[in-house]
Amino acid sequence: MTDPIQTIPVRTTPGYTVAIGPGLLDQCGRRLREVLSPCRVAVITDSNVGPLYLDRARASLEEAGFDVCSFTFPAGEGSKNLGTLSRMLEFLAEERLTRVDCVAALGGGVTGDMAGLAAALYLRGVRYIQLPTSLLAAVDSSVGGKTAVDLSAGKNLAGAFLQPAAVLCDTDCLGTLTPEYFADGAAEAIKTGVLCEESLFALFEEGKAAPGSDALPRVIARCVAYKAGVVERDEKEQGERKLLNLGHTAGHAIEKCSGFAIPHGHAVAAGMGVIARAAEVLGWAKEPLADRIAACLARNGLPAGTDFSPEELARAALSDKKRAGDTITLVVPERIGHCVLKKLPVAELLPVIRAGMGR
């Protein structure tokens, strides 16, 4: 019988393994023992995920000899701020975690980003592991070591790079996602398809990667393998890793303009729709792709546009960290499965967004 657990190495320094498959939450203690001696583990989770999975993670960790404490914060992007981070750090100190101890992020993208940043800051850095429970965290945010909180000025503006010691993605956890949370993760997987593989995109286009589908572990593994390669070549986003920001320039702007009421994946989907349309209108795309991307997003419960004006989006985008001085780097789809980086003067961003919105 084939092993249902797929493992993907991420060859950063230090490197780690991403394990993907069913039942991993109940094995997390045993699997963590493969990389860590018994120590104190602070599990950080949110008010949606904690009631579902914290007891099981705790039981598995304790059975493997870890001493467990836990911190739960209110679920949602509204918690991804310096106030919550400060409470996490105070908790780690009150629990007297030391440099040999470990933080475990149990949850989706917000939990992983914030627990990772707390681990990067506490005692100038302790180890952390990712236990992603959302599709978005599984296909994207749990891998690659980006950690952050939002500031009033924008998304993920305070953060650090710190690679986790391990990622254990229990695909059974995807079964409790609401359709909206599932769609949020589908957006990042569709993004990966547009970046690197038309057949991955086609799974979503044909409705073959719906909630509960057998294709999901394969989808997650493909997304993680692609991202692992990019991160190995460009861990600190000096070049190639910027490609992973496809849809994020307008996407982050949409999140910010909505006061973070529009979830990340939905905003990225809309951002992808805008840049795909712009690529076609401006002659950057080498094949017609905007209608195809919009139809794929719609089939998966995602928007391909937004009601915010191009002016509002351009203003918000220019406070994003993808701006460097007077230039901004856009990720432009040339074909489904191939994108390029395009550096533009910031003054050209508004016309590009207008083109992408047909204005």
Q: Should residue 40 be labelled a site residue for ligand GLY when binding is judged by CB under 6 A?
A: no
Check 40, 191, 227, 242 and give the catalytic one.
227
Burial class (CB in 10 A: 0-12, 13-18, 19+), 178: exposed
What is the smallest separation between the CB atom of 132 and ligand GLY, expressed in angstroms?
13
Q: In which residue are the tokens 């395009």 written?
A: 342
227 annotated active-site: yes
How many H helices and E strands in the chain? 13, 12
Q: Which of residues 236-275 bind ligand GLY (CB under 6 A)?
A: 241, 244
112 makes contact with ligand GLY (CB under 6 A): no
Active site residue 252: yes
Cβ neighbours of residue 357 closer than 8 Å, sequence gap 6 or more: 274, 277, 305, 306, 310
Closer of 60 and 141 to ligand GLY (Cβ): 141
By beta-carbon proximity to ligand GLY, the closer residue of 40 and 191 is: 191
Shortest distance (Å) from residue 230 CB to ligand GLY = 8
Residue number with CB closer to ligand GLY (116 or 144): 144
Is the CA virtual torsion 291, 297, 299, 302 positive or negative? Answer: negative
Cα 302 from chain centroid (whole Å): 16
User: Smaller CB distance to ligand GLY: residue 41 or 268?
Assistant: 268
Q: Where are the beta strands (DSSP E) in 74-172?
A: 102-107, 127-132, 146-151, 154-161, 166-170
Closest CA to 299 of 212, 173, 179: 179
Sole window of 98-106, 139-147, 167-175, 302-310 interacting with ligand GLY (rule: CB under 6 A): 139-147
Note if 266 is an active site residue. no
Rounded CA-CA distance 237/224 in Å is 17
Stretch that binds ligand GLY, among 18-26, 137-145, 193-201, 302-310 (CB under 6 A): 137-145
CA nearest neighbour of 32 among 106, 101, 129, 105: 129
Residue 80 in contact with ligand GLY, rule: CB under 6 A: no
For position 132 contacting ligand GLY by CB under 6 A, the verdict is: no
Active site residues: 124, 146, 188, 227, 237, 241, 245, 248, 252, 264
List interacting residues with ligand GLY (CB under 6 A): 140-141, 144, 146, 241, 244
